[in-house]
Structure 1
Amino acid sequence: YLFQDGDMVTFMDVEDYSQYTLGADDLDEQLGYLVDGLEGLSALLVDGNVIGVELPQSVNLAVVETAPAMKGATATGRTKPATLASGIEVQVPEYIAVGDVLKINTGTGKFMSRV
């Protein structure tokens, strides 16, 4: 992944530096997992045009907004919503705080661990 410009997303092949674009609408929910410099992404090309992408199994994203961490909170089953740097919202354990970097499963959209 390289960058987003309006409603177009640009990808770069790290082997030959070729650039490809795809409409943001074509990415649907995948757009929330794209962060600058994301590697491990596979693009499906037909006649030199990107028609879809396959995300890596997980991505690391920083928490930009969530309720304050609960003192004494442990890894129990209680969760709270957190907004990540890409704009997506996920449920996270109560001990997570703003600024924490989280590993998120791109297939399920669920919290995996704190990085």
Structure 2
Amino acid sequence: MKINASEIRVGMLLEYKDDLWQVLKTQHVKPGKGGAFAQVEMKSLNKNTKLNERFRSNETVEKAALDESDFNYSYEDDQNYFFINPKSFEQIDVKKDLIGEKGKLLTENLEVKISFYNENPISVELPNQVQCKIDTTDAALKGQTVSSSYKPAKLDNGLSIQVPPFIEVGDEVIIDTRNLEYVKKI
């Protein structure tokens, strides 16, 4: 689908120069002289390279058409995470480096959205919040106020996060999967 350069937004996937690019930054510039343009920083999903490109506002670019499906997390091995489609029971595998650190938040039967481009998985979107258990954390220091300071904690899945001082070992907490931050205690 063709879109104007002025419609490019962060997170979009574009087909450009025979590759698939994810938009990292975009800035619309209207200089005093000459026409307006969009300065776009993109990252190649296939080659893992970056590209800074300038598009005039009247230029068009091809927005990638993605297929999105719901899957449930099943299990993992050394290189892959495995997901199953709850409707067709089709199983797919996704490379661990595609999900990265957030893969530690995957629990059995967790529902995720997987985006496909030409039938290849390119991104896995976890729910915005997941429940985790505190494995280890430091003792709260006397005199600290809740709003001013956080302390380090390790979750049962191995992730390290910052939590308020009243959180203790064994507490169940909600974690935001987008930025890996503490949300609330259960």
* Same topology, TM > 0.5: yes
Query: 1:32 offset after TM fit, Å?
Result: 2.6
Structure 2 SS opposite 1:2: strand
Cα distance in 1 for residues equivalent to 2:120 and 2:80: 13
- Between 1:30-39 and 1:103-112, the stretch displaced more is 30-39
Structure 1 unmatched ranges of 5 or more: none
Other-structure match for 2:80: 8
Q: Deviations over 1:32-55 (max 9, x none)?
A: 32122212x101134544222011
Task: Provide structure 2 residue ranges, at least 5 long, that are not aligned to the other structure.
Answer: 1-72
In terms of fraction of residues, the more strand-rich structure is: 2
Larger radius of gyration: 2
The normalised TM-score by structure 1 is 0.84
Q: Hey, what does 1:20 align to over in structure 2?
A: 92
Pairwise CA distance, 1:27: 1.2
Rounded to whole Å, the distance in 1 between the matches of 2:109 and 2:135 is 19
RMSD: 2.1
**CA–CA separation in structure 2 for the residues paired with 1:35 and 1:74:** 33
Q: RCO (CA 8 Å, sep 6+): is it higher in 1 or 2?
A: 1
Q: How does 1:46-57 map to 2 (within 5 A)?
A: 46-57=117-128
Q: Give runs of aligned pairs for residues 27-46 of structure 1, distance below 5 A.
A: 27-39=99-111, 41-46=112-117
Paired residues for 1:1-115 under 5 Å: 1-39=73-111, 41-68=112-139, 75-115=146-186
1:42/1:54 contact within 8 Å kept: yes
In 1, the alpha carbon distance for the partners of 2:110 and 2:156 equals: 13
Deviates more, 1:91-100 or 1:9-18: 9-18
Q: Which 4+ runs in 1 deviate beyond 4 A?
A: 69-74
Tell me the matched-pair count. Answer: 114
